[in-house]
Structure 1
Amino acid sequence: MKKAASIVMAAFLALALSACGAAKSGEDGKAQSASGSAVEKYTFGTDATYPPFEFQKDGKYVGIDIDLMNAIAKEEGFEVEIKPMDFKGIIPAITANQLDGAIAGISITDERKKVVDFSDPYYQAGLSLIVNEDNNDIKSPQDLKGKTIAIKKGTSGANLADEYAKTYGATIKYFDDSPSMYQEVANKNADATLEDFPVISYKIAIDPNAKLKIVGDRLNGDFYGIAVAKGDTTLQKKINDGLKKLQENGEYDKIVETYLGSAAK
């Protein structure tokens, strides 16, 4: 009798442990919703040093990209985990299956499309030329001859800076993050930098000690896209569907206006 009771108890415990395990997010990337149905969970990389698109405030990750990704996930019924990392490591992490995707102010380029797929474009940025507020000598890329450009590694700005280095004989100093790049120009250790227009506009607007200014017109018209693993049409479709719904119901505009105002959409 004791032996039979022990067998029943062991079976009960095994069942209970199995049920507990099923309620947690597992290796298949699924979690349980409040109703008990499976909810897909995806990990997205971002660069948390890129306001107003992604940055840390009061211990939380916020910004246009973060709010947008969370809104898409809510609209499409999946969960998203945001993983901050250096920008230059984001696409390699996707190709190595360490991330499901990324939203980090990533410009859609032909080179990147060779290794990852993108959502529909969600924001037109475009690069601007930035100099120290006291610099009146540099007004266009042609004035970069013999000058030093501070630039963040792995960005579309870095690609354009390489072109300017070849064309105008400029020297490039590379950095891992945007704040260090800005500081180099603010301290006059570099003559100029290249940054996406909405990002640098936000920086200058909120930081009275930025010591930076934008010169000339936008240098190009890059579009941002949400990156996913090559061939992951399922996740790509979910993102595109969610993005379209947010654009149609006005939520997208509200998110952008929260950080940039209605004039910077």
Structure 2
Amino acid sequence: MKNSLRFYLQLAFTLLVCAFLIVPVVLSVLAGVTENFFVGLSSGFTLRWVAQVWDTYQMTIWRSVAIALACLAVTLVVGVPLAYMLARHQGGNSRLARVFEELLMMPVAVPGLATALALIMAYGQYRAFRGSLLFILVGHVLFTLPFMVRPVLAVMQSSQLAVLEEAAASLGAGIRQRFFGVVIPNAASGILAGALMVVTLSIGEFNITWMLHTPLTMTLPVGLADAYASMRLEVGSAYTLIFLLMIVPLLVAMQWATQTTRTRVRL
């Protein structure tokens, strides 16, 4: 009896927390497809707010997608070899490797506004660079690179790469063949998890982007804030709906990839 009561109390608390988190999102989505939010659902459903958002802010969506894909490419090229280097040197308990790994996590610990301000102070005098999407890309790479390195490093540390590489070397494989034929396939689940995380974080990143953007380089999250600040509530909510349609599938895929990575690490 006591265990049954505890179960129902826990279930009620869980449902209450879920409702607290989900209800505002549902209301925001409904506002984006309602003729008049203040009248309510009785005013009728419409997609004209979504169409208005697309007409006004579609370039911010394409910019966010372009930056996210470019950020993914950079973090793959830089992060995977970096994780490989850390995995190889951590096997020897290298103090330098541990220090470097901690420094790599600094952009996550430092507030995004502080990172953006540091970039502006360092490179703000280069006007062409300051007003380009490349400037925002640099901020996104600094922020997302640890999220690529961490899952890849975790899988590499659990895959006994040293043994596999030694076996491949004994068969005559060069360093390039070992990296692309042994390391990359064995770290594929970590690379996938890191890639999904990088794209999701880049598309949704606001703090760094808000400081670094210009009116010509506005991205999706900044456009969302602008829509809520300067237009009708229904327009901002329709923008939120588009944002969720982009982010939610990525979050589901990221959860699946992360679970796969954890299973691989346990095995």
Per the normalisation by structure 2, the TM-score is 0.25
Bigger share in helix = 2
Bigger share in strand = 1
Highest relative contact order (Cα 8 Å, sep 6+), 1 or 2?
A: 2
